[in-house]
Amino acid sequence: MNTEIITIGDELLIGQIADTNSKWIAAIASENGFQINRITSIPDRLETIINTLDEAASRSELVFITGGLGPTNDDITRKAISDFFQTKWKLNQQVYEDIRQFLQNRGVEMSELNKEQAKVPEKAKIYYNTIGTAPGMKLTKANTIYVFMPGVQFEMKEMMEHSIVPELKKQFIKEEYIYKIVLTQGIPEAYLADKLNDWENALPNDIKIAYLPSPGIVKLRISSKGESTQIVEKEIDKYIEKLKEIIPEYYVATSKLPLEAIIGETLKSNHSTISTAESCTGGKVAYKITSVAGSSDYFKGSVVAYSNEVKENMLGVSRETIYEYGAVSKEVVEEMVKGVKELFGTDYAISISGIAGPTGGTKEKPVGTTWIAVCDNEKVISEKYLFGNKRDVNIEKASNTAIGMLRKMILNKGNF
């Protein structure tokens, strides 16, 4: 089903906020078999909204729209709906009660503007907002379905997941869209594509592959369609098994979970604990690990040892080691990792020291030079990396690489 997404708001076009709504809608719609052909962001201007809705009818069967349904004067999507669909608005008693109850629970009186939100188009199918004030609406014109949703993301997600997508999928989607995510770590996208060239060429026409790169990680989305979920999954799994044989050293898991959640499951199932000592990453590894619910079961603590004094006083790094080899060195990260493991009494530890940039590099140690160490109760393993000259990318790459090194140590019992 040809589908497009329209997001409305001046704030999107001036860079004040990121358009994360489109990203999320595209993901859930695609997962459920809707083919996204276009994403458009437009300003809060009546003529622009109407023209964009009109243009969408010429190319799409389904249009998702977010934004501009709020109670303030700059939210003009409601006026655009009136003009475009030639519909009147009427009070919806359930919407009114939902809004009244929502505001009452927060100790807020219902204003005249809030009352206006309880009015809905006569021609619309209503999606009730259980966690906000603006309802969702579905209208049809020229054989195109338009679904309007609030711009507040958690409200929009609730509607999409529990009302809109289930209804539309049941009505229009006859084939199941199945996809699996293969997570790889430690190999750039171009090198991975080269290694998988023959494998990819051998895929049947109904199986598609997409490369989804991010710093230090490349995900592969392998997808297909069919009336039987079991048959489609079995076919996809067959090719994933072949893929694992080609890149065993880079394959992490077939999972939609992020790397830090995957390693968290491993630590939890092994009843193991982890601590981190970070310099150039400034606590990013600890942040990633603790972003996973339940991480308190295995994460004990971290030291952000940005200065040499902290490396010495808290982690027990020798001043002579720093003086002789420099803070960014094999010797220092190995002392850091042993120090933080002892400090927190954990089974495993990670340490990182590097030059994130954009300044601070030398000829011997250019920007991007990073040493990472991991250890368990038996051994310490350290590796040197040259990540590049972009600070934010270096921090992300170093963090993901460190977690990847820890995973290899756990799975291989200390042997890389």
Residues contacting residue 89 through CB under 8 Å, at least 6 positions apart: 78, 82, 119, 120, 121, 122
Tell me the CA distances in angstroms from 260 to 217, 307, 392, one per residue in order. Answer: 12, 26, 18
Which residues on neighbouring strands pair with residue 90, listed in sequence order? 120
- CATH class assigned to 259-412: alpha beta
Tell me the CA distances in angstroms from 110 to 74, 98, 105, 119, 156, one per residue in order. Answer: 19, 11, 11, 14, 22
Asked if pLDDT for residue 39 goes beyond 90, the answer is: yes
Query: What mean pLDDT is predicted for residues 27-43?
Result: 93
Q: DSSP letters of 239-295? A: HHHHHHHH-TTTEEEE-SS-HHHHHHHHHHHTT--EEEEESTTTTHHHHHHHTSTTG
pLDDT digits (tens, 9 = 90+) for 103-125: 989 998 888 888 888 899 998 99
pLDDT digits (tens, 9 = 90+) for 389-406: 999 999 999 999 999 999
Asked if pLDDT for residue 60 goes beyond 80, the answer is: yes
User: Lowest-confidence range among 172-181, 211-220, 348-357?
Assistant: 172-181
Count other Cβ atoms within 10 Å, centred on residue 324. 11
| pTM for the full predicted model | 0.79
Q: Where are the domains of the chain?
A: 2-172, 176-254, 259-412
Asked if pLDDT for residue 415 goes beyond 50, the answer is: no
Instruction: Give the Cα separation of 339 and 79 in Å (integer).
Output: 64
Query: What mean pLDDT is predicted for residues 313-339?
Result: 97
Using alpha carbons, select from 252, 261, 254 the residue that is nearest to residue 289: 261
Query: What mean pLDDT is predicted for residues 216-220?
Result: 96
Confidence of residue 412 (pLDDT cuts 50, 70, 90): confident
Q: Indicate the helix (H) or strand (E) that contains 42.
A: strand 35-42
pLDDT of res. 414: 43
Q: DSSP letters of 90-136? A: EE-HHHHHHHHHHHHHTT-PPPHHHHHHTEEETTPEEE--SSSSPPE
The answer to whether 282 and 306 are in contact (CB under 8 A) is: yes
Confidence of residue 72 (pLDDT cuts 50, 70, 90): low
Asked if pLDDT for residue 15 goes beyond 70, the answer is: yes
Pairing label, strands 62-66, 2-8: parallel
Confidence of residue 224 (pLDDT cuts 50, 70, 90): very high
pLDDT of res. 73: 63
2-172 carries CATH number 3.40.980.10:
yes
Query: What mean pLDDT is predicted for residues 191-196?
Result: 97
DSSP-based three-state secondary structure for 304: strand
Q: Indicate the helix (H) or strand (E) that contains 38.
A: strand 35-42
pLDDT digits (tens, 9 = 90+) for 289-299: 999 999 999 99
Tell which CATH architecture fits domain 176-254: 2-Layer Sandwich (3.30)
Asked if pLDDT for residue 71 goes beyond 80, the answer is: no
Confidence of residue 93 (pLDDT cuts 50, 70, 90): very high
Asked if pLDDT for residue 69 goes beyond 90, the answer is: no
Query: What mean pLDDT is predicted for residues 139-157?
Result: 94
Torsion angle defined by CA atoms of residues 150, 154, 157 and 163, in that order, rounded to the nearest 10 degrees: -70
Instruction: Give the Cα separation of 168 and 27 in Å (integer).
Output: 15
Count other Cβ atoms within 10 Å, centred on residue 74. 10
Confidence of residue 175 (pLDDT cuts 50, 70, 90): confident
pLDDT of res. 281: 97
User: Counting beta carbons within 10 angstroms of the beta carbon of residue 182, is it exposed (0 to 12), middle (13 to 18) or buried (19 or more)?
Assistant: buried
pLDDT of res. 116: 83
- Of the segments 101-110, 221-230, 281-290, which one has the largest average pLDDT value? 281-290
pLDDT of res. 130: 85
Query: What mean pLDDT is predicted for residues 247-267?
Result: 95
Query: What mean pLDDT is predicted for residues 240-264?
Result: 96
Count other Cβ atoms within 10 Å, centred on residue 248. 8
pLDDT digits (tens, 9 = 90+) for 336-386: 999 999 999 999 999 999 999 999 999 999 999 999 999 999 999 999 999
Asked if pLDDT for residue 184 goes beyond 90, the answer is: yes
The mean pLDDT of the chain is 93
